[in-house]
Structure 1
């Protein structure tokens, strides 16, 4: 059995991420200014984008191929990607995904940069959406308080 590899996607290969999204009829899109992360197993099976924002990153575009959902791929990909960046990380998600992200250390108690707050308000006009965040010291679930 081939192991799953979690790694950043080289900038020159970003069109492969959009091809992956299109193949699965996802409306998500990879953007050039983001760090693109993928899970590979004989091709891309999952991806996400970490877009620089304010003094941190905005996690967008998390998508796992439908046939591989429920196997821990999304959690492993998010964990690998967030471990590689500094600063806070924010995301928007459907309220049903709150528990998934909480297991990865994200919280509803988050201060969004102004630009993200405005975007969230716009998104919430059309669908249920919550904001979650992760500060660097929260990335380690065994560490309960901020470092001194």
Structure 2
């Protein structure tokens, strides 16, 4: 079995991440203007997107294939992707995922930029959501 590789996804290959999401019936999409990261085990088995926002980055599209869950891949992928980023990394997620992200250093004790605050209000109209942030000094 080939070793796992965590790497940024080159822009011409971005459709592969969307194909990965669709293959798992996920509504997630790679955002234009973002930086995409993937984990490969021969093929893509996990991915995420980091998009610039005022004061930092917005983390979206974190998804690990069901066959590769429970191995810490999300934490490894996020750790690699946010290393060296200045500012705060924010995410919006279902409350059930709070503990997962807390183990990675994220906290609800964060101040969202206006664009994400407005988005959170819209998202909460349809489903329960929380906002979490990871500050630069906490990323070790």
In the superposition, the TM-score normalised over structure 2's length comes to: 0.96
Q: CA deviation at 1:114?
A: 0.5
Q: Secondary structure at the match of 1:6?
A: strand
Residues 71-98 of structure 1 show CA distances to partners (whole Å, capped at 9, x for unaligned) of 1111111111111422210001111111
Q: CA deviation at 1:23?
A: 0.8
Q: Secondary structure at the match of 1:13?
A: helix
- Whole-Å separation in 1 of the counterparts to 2:59 and 2:36: 10
Contact residue 93 and residue 130 of structure 1 kept, 8 A: yes
* Larger-Rg structure: 1
1:120 maps to 120
- Whole-Å separation in 1 of the counterparts to 2:69 and 2:94: 17
The size of the alignment, in residue pairs, is 140
Residues 14-48 of structure 1 show CA distances to partners (whole Å, capped at 9, x for unaligned) of 01111111111100001220000000011100000
Task: Give RMSD over aligned pairs.
Answer: 0.9
Change (3 A) 1:84 1:24: farther
Q: Secondary structure at the match of 1:26?
A: coil
2:135 maps to 135
1:6 maps to 6
Residues 37-66 of structure 1 show CA distances to partners (whole Å, capped at 9, x for unaligned) of 000011100000001111210000000111
Q: How does 1:92-107 map to 2 (within 5 A)?
A: 92-107=92-107
- Whole-Å separation in 2 of the counterparts to 1:51 and 1:111: 17
- Whole-Å separation in 1 of the counterparts to 2:32 and 2:120: 22
Deviant stretches of 4+, over 4 Å: none
1:56 maps to 56
- Whole-Å separation in 1 of the counterparts to 2:67 and 2:137: 34
Contact residue 87 and residue 136 of structure 1 kept, 8 A: yes
2:73 maps to 73
